[in-house]
Amino acid sequence: MPDIARLPPDADAVGQRLLADGAVIVETLFEPDLIDAVLTDLRGPFDEQGLRFTNDFNGYKTRRLSGILGISRAAANVLAHPLILGVADHVLKRHCEVYRIGSSTAIEIMPGEGNQVLHRDDDFYPIRIPGVEFQISAMVALTDFTLENGATRVVPGSQDMREIDSITDDQVTQAVMPRGSVLFYLGRSVHAGGKNNTEVPRTGLITTYSLGWLRQEENHYLTIPREVADSYPDPIRRLMGYQSHGPYLGVYPGDPDGHFYDS
């Protein structure tokens, strides 16, 4: 079973290894108090609406929440952590001027859930461009991730676009890591949720960061109320998508980075 590299929190080193291996872990990046605050914000919504996304792909014993910045203000300190953004800079800014949150989802795998089907996150885009990563993902462990409770399954090196059906069990590993750690993986890397054979849930917060000229997976403009979006500082609003991409794409009045011109 292959290993996932575990590196200290150096954005360039993590980004370089991510491009080479398809997945990297940085352990205990976040303080327990911040993790506890996010979990507290998520608990009520998990219980009230977490099962509305159940299906064959997501599982029937897995709670999910989207629009995280509309649910948890504490989560903004996770989504915009300097290391995570530094890794996104290293990988994504080779092919864009700015990037945005593609989606952010809290996932609670409950006892008795089975293995999720292996997949690639960016397969919903209809094309591939050789050498261009459309997005990266950062899975933050809000509880310990173990072999027994459903730690994310990953296939290191699978950014080579091998056929998923050809992947054998010995090519799959699990991202075992303590709470507060983060697993980075490329949008092309094959992965899936794991089986929970314990009596307690396994909870994570997965956020994707996509090239600024791509359509976001999650529509933050409609998912998160405008008054909530406006209450965040400018860097968070920009991550949601309230920014242009360079001087001509997605421009709007008052944007200092965009141009308006007459046809």
Q: How far apart are the first and last CA of the chain?
A: 58
Does residue 78 carry a pLDDT above 70?
A: yes
State yes or no: pLDDT of 235 exceeds 90: yes
DSSP class of residue 142 equals S
> Rounded to the nearest 5°, which phi and psi values hold at 105?
-135, 130
Confidence of residue 255 (pLDDT cuts 50, 70, 90): confident
Going by pLDDT thresholds of 50, 70 and 90, the confidence category of residue 86 is very high
Would you say residue 261 has pLDDT above 80?
A: no
pLDDT surpassing 90 at residue 85: yes
Give residue 263's pLDDT band: very low, low, confident or very high (50, 70, 90): very low
| Predicted local confidence at residue 252, as pLDDT | 80
Angle at CA of residue 124, ends 220 and 128, nearest 5°: 115
Inform me whether the pLDDT recorded for 250 exceeds 90. Answer: no
d(CA 97, CA 40): 35
The pLDDT tens digits of the residues spanning 178-207 come to: 999 999 999 999 999 999 999 999 999 999
Q: How far is the C-alpha of 41 from the C-alpha of 247, rounded, in Å?
A: 37
Confidence of residue 259 (pLDDT cuts 50, 70, 90): low
247 — pLDDT class (breaks 50, 70, 90): confident
How confident is the model at residue 246, as a pLDDT?
87
Kindly provide the b/e burial profile for residues 139-176, where b requires at least 16 CB atoms within 10 angstroms of the residue's own CB. Answer: bbbbbbbbeebbbbbbbbebbeeeeeeeeeeebbbbbb
Instruction: Say what the pLDDT of residue 2 is.
Output: 85
Angle between helices 82-92 and 11-21 (to 10 degrees): 50
As a whole number, mean pLDDT of residues 26-47 equals: 98
- Residue 87 to residues 62, 164, 186, 240, Cα–Cα distance (Å): 29, 26, 11, 18
Contacts by 11-15, CB closer than 8 A, 24 or more apart = 11/82, 11/83, 11/86, 11/87, 11/89, 11/90, 12/86, 12/90, 14/83, 14/86, 14/87, 14/90, 14/184, 15/86, 15/87, 15/89, 15/90, 15/91
**Residues 111-126 pLDDT 10s:** 999 999 999 999 999 9
The span from the CA of 215 to the CA of 126, in Å, is: 11
Q: What is the mean pLDDT of residues 229-258?
A: 88
How high does pLDDT run on average in the chain? 95
Structure tokens at 66: 């989207």
Residue whose tokens read 């008054």:
227
Is the pLDDT reported for residue 87 higher than 90?
yes
- Within 8 A by CB and 6+ apart from 169, the residues are none
CA gap 261, 256 in Å, rounded: 14
Among candidate residues 243, 251, 257, the one with its CA nearest the CA of residue 100: 243
The label of the residue with tokens 């800079």 reads 89
**Confidence bin at 213 (pLDDT 50/70/90):** very high
In this predicted structure, the answer to whether residue 262 has a pLDDT above a threshold of 50 is: no
**Backbone Cα Rg of the chain:** 18
147-183 pLDDT per residue, tens: 999 999 999 999 999 999 999 999 999 999 999 999 9
